[in-house]
């Protein structure tokens, strides 16, 4: 119920509090609110990257979830720059791997980057490993726009096409069959 204005990032996935469930209603609420504010904030060029942290209160749960950051080097400054730019994604464990890109006309952009489309069609692609029988969903400023299953071994590639006119950004969520999130990304912004 509180605005995200004034914050640098938004923690949408927190570690466990009182149960052994890595994903709970509080996280679902934070993610939904972040989705609503992201659509408005990208239009005014003032969006906040999502983070996941294991500020946990249950023994043995450190690292569930964790944020994967794309950084130029292994230094505090480079990691913070990657976080500020939204060049990160969140996973429930190191067993889950996600690659998320947009491409058109031989050009490619990744999570947290701006992709100039020149008015043309863009293909976004999610490659996922470690979520057996899960689903990948693509989300834009219009909400959830595409959903596809992952195979039984949990490794698969899902593609979807859009334009900057139809989608100001695209991000993904990867969920288990029970609906709990296994991974989610910050957006690729389409201009």
3-state secondary structure 62-76: CCCCEEEECCCCCCH
List, for residues 11-67, the tens digit of each pLDDT value.
887 766 555 555 667 777 778 877 778 888 887 878 888 888 876 666 666 667 889
Measured CA to CA in angstroms, residue 86 lies from 10, 137, 146 at distances of 11, 19, 22
Dist. CA 82–CA 107, nearest whole Å: 21
Least confident of 10-19, 126-135, 182-191: 10-19
SS3 78: helix
Residue 15 is predicted with a pLDDT of 66
> By C-alpha distance, which of 48, 47, 62, 60 is closest to 15?
62
Dist. CA 17–CA 24, nearest whole Å: 9
User: Is residue 156 within a helix (H) or strand (E), and if so which, with residue range?
Assistant: strand 156-162
| Residue 180 and residue 22 in contact, taking contact as beta carbons nearer than 8 Å | yes
Residue 66 is predicted with a pLDDT of 86
Dist. CA 128–CA 137, nearest whole Å: 12
């Amino acid at each position: 119920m509180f605005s995200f204005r004034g914050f640098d990032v938004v923690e949408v996935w927190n570690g466990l509090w009182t149960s052994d469930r890595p994903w709970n209603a509080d996280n679902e609420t934070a993610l939904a609110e972040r989705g609503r504010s992201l659509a408005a904030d990208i239009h005014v060029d003032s969006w906040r990257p999502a983070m996941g942290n294991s500020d946990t209160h249950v023994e043995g749960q450190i690292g569930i979830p964790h944020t994967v950051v794309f950084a130029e080097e292994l230094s505090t400054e480079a990691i913070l720059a990657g976080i500020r730019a939204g060049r990160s994604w969140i996973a429930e464990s190191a067993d889950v791997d996600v690659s998320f890109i947009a491409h058109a006309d031989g050009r490619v952009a990744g999570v947290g980057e701006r992709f100039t489309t020149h008015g043309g069609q863009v293909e976004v692609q999610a490659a996922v490993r470690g979520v057996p029988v899960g689903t990948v969903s693509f989300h834009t400023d219009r909400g959830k726009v595409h959903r596809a299953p992952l195979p039984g071994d949990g490794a698969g590639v899902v593609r979807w096409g859009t334009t900057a006119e139809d989608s100001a950004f695209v991000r993904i969520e990867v969920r288990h069959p029970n609906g709990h999130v296994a991974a989610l990304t910050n957006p690729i912004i389409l201009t």
